[in-house]
Amino acid sequence: MSPPGADRYRVRAGGSIKGSLTVPGDKSISHRALMLGALADGDTHISGFLAGEDCLSTARALEQLGVAIERPAETEVVVHGVGAHGLAPSPAPLDMGN
Q: Is residue 1 part of a domain?
A: no
pLDDT, tens only, 13-28? 787 878 887 666 889 9
Whether 92 maps to a domain, the answer reads: no
Name the β-bridge partners of 42.
81
Q: What are phi and psi of 72, to 5 degrees?
A: -70, -20
Number of domains making up the chain = 1
- The pLDDT-based confidence of 53 (bands split at 50, 70, 90) is very high
Q: Please say if the pLDDT value at position 83 is more than 90.
A: yes
HSE-CB of 86 using CA atoms within 13 angstroms? 18
- Containing domain of residue 75, as a range? 27-82
Mean pLDDT of the region 29-56 = 95
pLDDT at 2: 62
Q: Does 69 have pLDDT greater than 80?
A: yes
Domain annotation covers residue 14: no
**57 within some domain:** yes
Q: In the structure, what pLDDT confidence band is assigned to residue 1 with cuts at 50, 70 and 90?
A: low
Cα(98)–Cα(46) distance, integer angstroms: 24
